[in-house]
Amino acid sequence: MAKGFYIQEGKTIDYINSGGEDIGYCEVVPLTSRVGVAACAIPKGAKGSLSISGVYELPADTAAMTVGQLVHWDIASDKVVASAGTAGEDGVLPTVPCGTVVAEKAASTASVLVKI
């Protein structure tokens, strides 16, 4: 039988900023299949921590959102959106899964509470 060995609780992960810009504290970082929130400033080329668990108030588009709704992070607009969008010609979606809405969001509200 295979064994798994406990490493850490997993609320945060180490992340190397391989992008072209510094990542600011509390900036949303899109990953392959989810988002993380920078737990510290992460300069270009440096290692820092991303939170991948918890409830965060995040900027959102103008759509109403309901408790329990799965939402996505739009990479181009840096906002939570209600749907994954349509893949481009390259087959890549313009969003990554973001999490679950934990408080009703009216259409006029510019942010939403999401459990990432």
Supply the DSSP string of 35-46, one letter for each residue: EEEESS-B-TT-
Name the nearest CA neighbour of 82 among 93, 70, 94.
70
List pLDDT tens digits, range 91-107. 778 999 999 999 999 99
> What Cα–Cα distance (Å) separates residue 77 from each residue in 19, 60, 81, 116?
17, 9, 9, 18
Q: What is the pLDDT of residues 53-88, one digit of tens each?
A: 999 999 999 999 999 999 999 999 999 999 888 877
Closest CA to 72 of 9, 116, 20, 106: 116
